[in-house]
């Protein structure tokens, strides 16, 4: 009976210590403000497949993280093709996404042994030795033997606590994901170290993060550029470095086909515009839509257009439809003419929100982005650049997003700038929405009709997420696909940001 009681005591002690180990490890994991998740793009890979993993690094605290240095590791049979190592900075409550890619290689020898087996074996061994000691002790030493048992296993608990606590305190993380390759289980391991800036390492209560800048359309609107829709400037936007865009040097608008003489005078004399970029293509231009010529300002046609291929497909084989389009375009300035044109284009797939998103991911669009940045980079001193498309919302919006990203603006400011179109076009959106609801019950057709006047946040979100996922960041996309360099980014800041 006494032996049974002693055995129960030993088992209870072991269970208590193991529970403490698990609790401490969970506590340390919850304490760490950085969270890393990694997911394979497929559940199983066949022999020869390229591996691809989506990695998200999140800062769930209210403090900025100075740097997260991450290194990925795979068994020897694979070699990395992209992002084996990377380092990022995270503001409060921010998440950044990356892609890790690898391919299998042929190597001699067996796979490396799996790790992570030894701590449980050690615990069992030490626990067993402690139990034997307890049972072989004399009566006078039974209590002492039980104490040895508790101390030996307890030391492992404290070691576990110390290791887990250091993971939170010394800012070290390890994340693993399992995947199948050629029907065998494999493991991708991510190891990360991160630092919180010194000023944040205090015992003072954490303060709420600084609220983001709230943009005001009334401060950005170019009311003196009359006869032009959605006319505004980017001056005053504050980037992640605390630097603001200079006032009245970056202007974004709708087309200049109906700009007034006073509007032209403002562009020439007040804003000193040196270059105008027009992102429309030839089929969009007719006597009612072509920009007015403005003396002393260079006009550049950069014909990016998600509808270009679709328009060619529709109209090349159907002269009657093309004639109809021309007629509707000529009458667009008449009451109701603009809505009739929009409905025709939406029904024929010329205006399509999804196509616009996909187009901006293409190499053709990237070439036009490079053309636009060449003009941004060569702005004369004390001059302004104006860029526009038809409504100054999507093509203009994507170029604005790329430029703001190049100038180190965060996503919140980019989205506010993009969504400001809905404030500028509020009356037009109301009219188009009413017409769409009256014309059709088809939700997709309504969506595309209203898209002619409005912007949808999910469209810009999709482009930003795509660039970030594929290239690490929007700036990564500009480097790889538009050919911008660090020197280009520095020059853009010099030209457009206040000191």
Tens of pLDDT, residue by residue over 376-385, are 999 999 999 9
For the ranges 146-160, 267-281, 467-481, the lowest mean pLDDT is seen at: 146-160
Looking at residues 404-430, what average pLDDT do you find? 97
Q: E strand or H helix at 100, and its extent? A: strand 95-104
Enter the tokens of residue 428: 């037009």
- Domains 1-210 and 217-496 are alike in CATH topology: no
For the ranges 76-80, 114-118, 409-413, the lowest mean pLDDT is seen at: 114-118
* Residue 107: per-residue pLDDT: 46
Q: Which distant-in-sequence residues (6+ apart) come within 8 Å of 350 by Cβ?
A: 307, 310, 311, 314, 344
* Confidence category of residue 371, pLDDT binned at 50, 70, 90: very high
Residue 107 in 3-state DSSP? coil
For 217-496, which CATH class? alpha beta
What are 464-493's pLDDT values in tens digits? 999 999 999 999 999 999 999 999 999 999
What are 207-254's pLDDT values in tens digits? 444 557 999 999 999 999 999 999 999 999 999 999 999 999 999 999
Report CA dihedral (343, 347, 350, 352) to the nearest 10 degrees.
90
Q: What is the DSSP letter of 398?
A: H
Instruction: Give the global pTM.
Output: 0.59
The closest of 36, 44, 65, 87 to 189, measured between CA atoms, is 36
φ, ψ of residue 342 to 5 degrees: the values are: -60, -45
Residue 52 in 3-state DSSP? strand
Domain coordinates in residue numbering, the chain: 1-210, 217-496
The closest of 93, 34, 42, 140 to 411, measured between CA atoms, is 93
DSSP string of 274-340, one letter each residue:
EEEEE---GGG-STTTSPPP-TT-EEEE----TTHHHHHHHHHT-HHHHHHHHHHHHTTTSTTHHHH
Q: Which distant-in-sequence residues (6+ apart) come within 8 Å of 371 by Cβ?
A: 300, 302
DSSP string of 140-204, one letter each residue:
GGHHHHHHHHHHHHHHHHHHHHHHHHHHHHTTEEEEEEEEEETTEEEEEEEEEEEE--GGG-SSS
The closest of 141, 194, 204 to 170, measured between CA atoms, is 194
DSSP string of 202-262, one letter each residue:
SSSPPPPPPPPP---HHHHB-TTSTT-TT-EE-TT-B-TTS-BBPTTSEEEES--TT--HH
Length of the chain as a residue count: 499
Whether the per-residue pLDDT at 206 is higher than 50: the answer is no
Q: Which distant-in-sequence residues (6+ apart) come within 8 Å of 12 by Cβ?
A: none
φ, ψ of residue 278 to 5 degrees: the values are: -115, 115
* Residue 200: per-residue pLDDT: 40
Tokens 């800036």, residue?
Answer: 197
φ, ψ of residue 297 to 5 degrees: the values are: -120, 125
CATH for 1-210 is 2.60.40.10
């Amino acid at each position: 009976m006494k032996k049974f009681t002693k055995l129960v005591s030993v088992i209870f002690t072991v269970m208590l210590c193991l529970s403490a180990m698990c609790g401490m490890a969970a506590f340390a994991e919850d304490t760490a403000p950085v969270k890393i998740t990694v997911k394979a793009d497929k559940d199983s890979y066949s022999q020869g497949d390229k591996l691809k993993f989506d990695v998200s690094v999140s800062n769930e605290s209210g403090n900025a993280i100075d740097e997260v240095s991450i290194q990925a590791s795979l068994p020897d049979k694979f070699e990395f093709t992209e992002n084996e190592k990377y380092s990022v900075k995270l503001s409060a409550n921010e998440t950044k996404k990356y892609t890790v890619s690898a391919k299998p290689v042929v190597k001699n020898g067996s796979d490396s042994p799996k790790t992570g087996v030894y701590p449980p074996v050690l615990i069992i061994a030490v626990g067993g030795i402690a139990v034997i000691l307890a049972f072989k002790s004399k009566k006078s030493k039974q209590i002492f033997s039980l104490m040895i048992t508790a101390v030996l296993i307890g030391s492992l608990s404290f070691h576990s606590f110390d290791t887990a606590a250091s993971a939170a305190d010394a800012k070290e993380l390890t994340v693993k994901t399992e995947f199948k390759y050629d029907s065998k289980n494999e493991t991708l391991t991510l190891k990360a170290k991160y630092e919180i800036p010194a000023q944040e390492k205090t015992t003072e209560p954490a303060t709420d993060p600084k609220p983001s800048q709230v943009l005001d359309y009334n401060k950005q609107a170019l009311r003196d550029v009359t006869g032009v829709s959605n006319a505004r400037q980017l001056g005053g936007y504050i980037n992640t470095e605390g630097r603001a865009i200079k006032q009245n040097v970056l202007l974004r608008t709708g087309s200049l086909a109906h700009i007034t003489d006073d509007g032209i005078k403002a562009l020439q004399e007040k804003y000193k515009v040196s270059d105008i970029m027009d992102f429309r293509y030839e089929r969009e231009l007719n006597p009612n839509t072509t920009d007015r010529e403005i003396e002393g300002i260079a006009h550049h046609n950069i014909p990016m257009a998600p509808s270009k291929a679709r328009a060619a497909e529709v109209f090349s084989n159907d002269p009657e439809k093309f004639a109809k389009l021309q007629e509707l375009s000529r009458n667009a300035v008449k009451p109701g003419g603009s809505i009739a044109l929009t409905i025709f284009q939406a029904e024929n797939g010329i205006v399509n929100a999804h196509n616009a998103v996909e187009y901006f991911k293409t190499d053709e669009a990237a070439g036009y982005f490079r053309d636009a940045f060449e003009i941004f980079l060569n702005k004369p001193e004390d001059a302004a650049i104006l860029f526009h498309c038809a409504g100054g919302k999507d093509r203009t919006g994507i170029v604005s997003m790329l430029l703001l990203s190049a100038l180190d603006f965060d996503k919140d400011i980019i989205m506010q700038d993009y969504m400001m179109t809905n404030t500028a076009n509020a009356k037009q959106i109301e009219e188009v929405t009413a017409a769409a609801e009256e014309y059709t019950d088809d939700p997709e057709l309504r969506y595309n009709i209203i898209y002619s006047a409005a912007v949808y946040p999910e469209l810009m979100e999709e482009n930003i997420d795509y660039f970030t996922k594929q290239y690490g960041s929007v700036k990564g996309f500009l480097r790889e696909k538009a050919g911008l360099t660090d020197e280009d980014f520095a020059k853009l800041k010099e030209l457009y940001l206040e000191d």
